[in-house]
Chains A and B, each alone.
Chain A
Amino acid sequence: MRVRLTVNRDDLDLDLEPRRTLADTLRTGCGLTGTHLGCADGTCGACTVLVDGEAVRSCLMLGVQCDGAHVRTVEGLAVDHPLRAALTAPATPDGACVPGLVMLAAGAIDHDPDLSGDPGRLRRLLASNACRDAGHDAAEQAVIRAAAPEGR
């Protein structure tokens, strides 16, 4: 099935099998492996991307559903985006969950810029995602620190 979608800055015309999830589409169809698959059943949120500005679990959407949509992945974060600092923070052992946490935060902060300076609310939002090793708190703190206005 032909699907046209914009991924980050690229307008793509893809031939997709309907059974493929958006996560599959991004990783194998677009070569964007920054979107990680943790549980692949919607629990962990590691595969979070933005579809038309809204954070979604890309394992719970079909790629063909995104016909005409604008998808933003972690690769599409601007070079000077403050949340990029979280990706290289030393506190996250394997980094599997961080792109998802970063995209979840990025989408929410785009909607509500005040969130970046509100660690409590940000922390509650980031509880949507789970880290698969023991580093959830460290990963979460890395995102909260990167988001904080004084961190910029």
Chain B
Amino acid sequence: MKPAGLDYVAASSSGEVLAALAGGDASVLAGGQSLVLDVTTGDACPRRVVDINRVAEFDVLAEVDGMLRVGPLVRHRTFESDAVHGALGNLLRTIVRHIGHPPIRARGTMLGSMAYAHPAAEWPVVATVLDAEFDLTGPQGRRTLTPEHFFAGPFTTARRPEELLAEVRLPVLPAGTGAGFAEHRLTHAKFAETAAMAAVTVTDGLVSAAAIGLVNAGPCPVRARAAEKALVGTVFSDAAITAAAEAAADLDATAVRDPGAGRRDRRRAVRVLTRRALTQAREGL
């Protein structure tokens, strides 16, 4: 059940990481909360594991020119603190407590979650909705991708095996932005069946910007553009929230069918959760 002959490299610089990845068939080990399990169960059979935990330069979290730069070693737990200020910090704090448990959040990383691209994960949706920038480094240098190009499907991204997800940049949100997140899961220990997130900016009494996202409502993280369109320009009323939630369920979600829920149930869950996330965002203004 456990693979023999696994090679382990503890890299101490980004150059060493790229050199170790260059051989191919290698996996990057950051928090390891998914990778070690996948290696143990045989779901992943890399020939080599490249541990990046000793690369000090990867533990970067800084706000530069209106963007929050997140490096590969920033743990989920960091976002529980007030390390990130303002409306973006509020949004990340609202969401992070839905990820695993404290010991998992102490080790798991935001970029690891993005690179793993679990369909029920929270961070990939945040990045998609906020139009984050994804920096990949590899033998050919650095390239920057949009979320639409980075996320390619469940557990699939555009990262090539010899590349490292070196940085993700999230845009800082303007003051007057409320954040909301609502999810459904069978028990606290399970992954989200479906979830919705919202960051809504109100200027002079009207919604001036809305970022709405859906977790596990399609093959890739879903940006609920129809729901956003329904909301922008309106007074942030109950009726506007209901209309946006209907749009999210009917137009934005590709309802995934699984043994636990039929398509209609999933759509209903998207509608309810989007309404809750938007209501929470309004309360947070």
Contact = CB atoms under 8 A, between A and B. Distances in A.
A55 B106 CA distance: 8
Given A18-B49, A128-B102, A60 B7 contact: no
24 contacts: A18-B6, A18-B49, A19-B2, A19-B5, A20-B2, A21-B36, A21-B40, A41-B41, A43-B189, A45-B101, A55-B106, A57-B33, A57-B103, A59-B36, A59-B37, A60-B37, A60-B104, A61-B36, A62-B8, A62-B29, A65-B51, A127-B101, A127-B188, A129-B101
Interface residues of A, number: 30
A41 B39 CA distance: 11
Interface of A: 1, 17-21, 40-43, 45, 48, 54-57, 59-62, 64-65, 67, 104, 108, 125, 127-130
B97 to A, nearest CB: 10
Contacts of B101: 45, 127-129
A65 B53 contact: yes
Given A18-B8, A127-B188, A55 B102 contact: yes
Contacts of B67: none
A67 B49 CA distance: 15
Interface in B103-146: 103-104, 106-107
Contact of B103 (A18, A20, A45): A45
Contacts of A65: 10, 29, 32, 51, 53
Q: Is the interface of B mostly helix, strand, loop or mixed?
A: mixed
Q: Kindly list the 4 A-B residue pairs having the minimum CB-CB distance in the complex, ordered from nearest.
A: A128-B101, A18-B8, A19-B6, A18-B6
B103 A62 contact: no
Interface string B1-32: 01111111010000000000000000001001
Nearest to A63: B8
Nearest to B41: A41
Contact of B4 (A19, A104, A130): A19
A125 B5 CA distance: 37
Contacts of A17: 4, 6
Most buried by A among B49, B103, B104, B106: B103
Most buried by A among B6, B8, B29, B49: B8
A55 B33 CA distance: 13
Contacts of A127: 101, 188
A64 B8 CA distance: 8
A64 B5 CA distance: 14
B17 to A, nearest CB: 15
Contacts of A54: 103, 106-107
Nearest to B3: A19
Given A19-B39, A62-B32, A67 B103 contact: no
Contact of B10 (A21, A67, A128): A67
A56 B103 contact: yes
Contacts of A41: 37, 40-41
Given A1-B8, A65-B51, A130-B189, A60 B107 contact: yes
A103 to B, nearest CB: 10
Contacts of A40: 40
A17 B3 CA distance: 10
A108 B142 CA distance: 40
A39 to B, nearest CB: 10
A128 B51 CA distance: 26
